[in-house]
Amino acid sequence: MQRYLLFIDDLSTWVGKIFSWCILILTAVTSYDVVMRYGFSAPTGWAYDTEYILYGTLFMMAGAYTLSQDSHVRGDFIARLMPFKVRASIELACLLLFFFPGMLALLYSGYDFFHVSLLQNEHSASSPTGPPIYPFKAIIPLAAIFMLLQGTVEVVRCVVALRTGQTPQRRRDVDELEKLILEEAKEGKTADQILRDVEHHGEKS
């Protein structure tokens, strides 16, 4: 079971890192468009479509990776005050009541959007170049599939946590220094010890 959980974590991380390159491409496209527009009075006809397609693709395809790292926005300041099993119960309830219905709706509607767009050979009307839109819309159901896969892993983790009182190991890519410092402080370590551990953590990363 743990091997399956970590495999899905690795898959989500791999997908997230591949699509993270959209940030660099998006930065380059935006910079080029700004220089051409304001430096040479020659605005591009393709930059706007490229920018929103890249941003939308990054936003959608990074969702499963963010979930695998337990990094989606939540009310941590409230959750910290609750007993461990209560937090796990709330997490499980939210996944079953909200996450899965939402992702299944995204998969169903997203596929419909993509299919209609493909049949119509839809092109963008936002710029003179009018690039095809159906490849971009294919990202919607694809992202939903990865989110559902990662969601099943999170459900298993919640169930195991409720049964054993411990959360199964998660494949960590990076940790926020704030979180690391809080964990070190809870263990009663001094400021010097925390500083050394943070520096060691940075060297490992």
Q: pLDDT: is 193 or 7 the higher one?
A: 7
- What is the arithmetic mean of pLDDT over 138-146? 97
The structure's pTM equals 0.81
Q: pLDDT: is 93 or 204 the higher one?
A: 93
pLDDT in tens, 110-129: 999 999 999 999 999 888 88
What confidence score (pLDDT) does residue 45 get?
86
Instruction: Report the distance separating Cα 21 and Cα 54, nearest Å.
Output: 10
pLDDT in tens, 83-106: 888 888 989 999 999 999 999 999
pLDDT in tens, 17-33: 999 999 999 999 999 99
**If pLDDT is split at 50, 70 and 90, which confidence band does 175 have?**
low
Residues of the chain with pLDDT > 90, as a percent, come to: 58
What confidence score (pLDDT) does residue 3 get?
84
Instruction: Report the distance separating Cα 39 and Cα 113, nearest Å.
Output: 39
- What is the arithmetic mean of pLDDT over 7-21? 94
CB 159 within 8 A of CB 108: no
What confidence score (pLDDT) does residue 178 get?
59
- The residue behind tokens 């400021």 is 191
Residues of the chain with pLDDT > 70, as a percent, come to: 81
Residue 137 has pLDDT above 50, yes or no: yes
- What is the arithmetic mean of pLDDT over 55-77? 86
Mean pLDDT of the chain: 85
What confidence score (pLDDT) does residue 111 get?
97
What confidence score (pLDDT) does residue 126 get?
83
- What is the arithmetic mean of pLDDT over 34-63? 92
Residues 6 or more apart from 136 whose CB is under 8 A from it?
A: 53, 56, 57
Instruction: Report the distance separating Cα 80 and Cα 90, nearest Å.
Output: 13
B/e letters for 42-77, b = 16+ CB within 10 Å, e = fewer, are eebeebbbbeebbebbbebbbbbbebbbeeeeeeee
**If pLDDT is split at 50, 70 and 90, which confidence band does 205 have?**
very low
